[in-house]
Structures are given as structure tokens and as C-alpha cells.
Amino acid sequence: MSESPVRTRHVAFDWGGVFTVGTFDGRSTQNVADRAGVPVERVRESYFRHVRQLEVGAWSLPQFWTVLQEEAGIPLPYDEFEELYLGSVHDNAPMYATLAALPEGVRVGLLSNNYPVVSDHLRRDPRFGRFDALVFSNEIGHKKPAPEAFAALQEAMGVPAAQVAFVDDVQENIDAAHAAGFHGLLYHHDHHEQFGRDLAAWLAGED
């Protein structure tokens, strides 16, 4: 019996908006505002002004919370915030099913603009055991769409970028992936079935 051919195409994903429905930031800021009883606009003004410090690993999550708490006037202790923050993830179940069904031999990566504590939380998720490479912006000091982020992904994947499809819900990041040599697949959860067909075609070597 002849051996199966070695697969030459692989896939890497974004997390927020791909493995989640909607944006994590939008949901988490709304949840914090609702719990604290303060206007969500006030929470978001401070949150989005400083969140890059989390994304590139310059601040820890407690540091970020101290600033957010003081600026937005939020009367919540850190432990309550962390629980609420992690609980703001809304999984996109069809994408997790797609992840689990990927053929053996396909290398799978993740490149996510993410935050301390959240990235650790994701690593503990048993479903993430299917990933061969996890690259988080807060751990490498660069966030998408920076070229350094995609260079880190290629290194972690261990295969040429041209052999990897990168899946993201933001066109700017798809454009950056193309510039770095990856094949880009723009994703929206409303069109998951079509995405599944497009990904299967890519992995099968169809252009």
C-alpha cells in the first residue's frame, strides 16, 4: 500500500471575530458598564485609548484595570473584573467544529491580537490542543497588521507562508497577510458554510 501524500497546505486563524461571534472588546466593555452601572461610552473611551498597552504586552491586565477603573470611575475590584472579562467570550461553535475536523497532517496556527490572562485562558482550553502554533501579540510585542506579527507566525508554523491560508475577519489583516506571502481568507460567521468550502478547496490544492 502506498503512503499518503504529504500535505503541503496548512491554515492559521485569527481568534476574535473568527472563533468568537462579534468582538470581544465590544462585549467586554458593555458587560463592565452594565455591572458597574456607568455609561458604556465612558468605559470604551478609556478602554480603547489604552488597550494597545495590553496587546503588545506593555501592561499586565491588573495595570490596565487600575487605569480603566480610575478613569471611568468603575467601582469593581480586579478579581470581579477578570471573571467578567474572561466571561465575555462568546464562542463561534461552527468554527470550533471546523477546527476539530481539519485533516491530520494539516498544521494549524493562531495569530491573535490578544491580552495577558486572556491568552493564558485560551491555552488552557482543550480545544486549542489542535493548534500547532499559538502566536499572541502580547507575547511577541507586535500586533497585526505589522509585518513582524506575520513573520512570527511563519516562524512558529515552521512552513513557508505561501503554504498557509490565513483566516481573519478584518480586511486590513488579510491585506497584510497577502503582503507577507500568505493566502488570505476573509471570514464572517454569517457565511461559515461558504468559508468551509473555500478552506477545503485551498487545503485540497485548488486555487
Query: CA-to-CA distance for 92 and 75, rounded, in angstroms?
Result: 31
Angle at 68 between CA 66 and CA 71, to 5 degrees: 105
Query: CA-to-CA distance for 9 and 14, rounded, in angstroms?
Result: 17
Give percent of the chain above pLDDT 70. Answer: 96
Give the three cell numbers for residue 31: 458587560
Check: CB of residue 129 under 8 Å from CB of residue 32: no
Provide mean pLDDT across the span 84-112.
Answer: 96
Beta bridge partners of 164: 10
pLDDT higher at 89 or 206: 89
In order of 35, 61, 138, 153, the CA distances from 166 in angstroms are: 36, 28, 19, 10
Q: What is the pLDDT of residue 108?
A: 98
Q: What is the pLDDT of residue 206?
A: 82
Rg (CA), the chain: 18
| Residue 4 pLDDT > 70 | no
| Domain spanning 10-22+91-203: CATH 3.40.50.300 | no
3-state secondary structure 174-203: HHHHHHCCCEEEECCHHHHHHHHHHHHHHH
CATH number of 24-86: 1.10.150
Give burial (CB, 10 Å; 0-12/13-18/19+) of 148. middle
Check: CB of residue 128 under 8 Å from CB of residue 134: yes
- Decide whether 10-22+91-203 matches 24-86 in CATH topology: no
Give exposure, 168-200, as e/b (b: 16+ Cβ within 10 Å). Answer: bbbeebbebbeebebbbbbbebeebeebeebbe
Q: What is the pLDDT of residue 203?
A: 96
Q: What is the pLDDT of residue 3?
A: 41
- Dihedral (Cα; 36, 90, 24, 199), 10-degree rounding: 180
Domain borders along the chain are 10-22+91-203, 24-86
Q: How high does pLDDT run on average in the chain?
A: 94
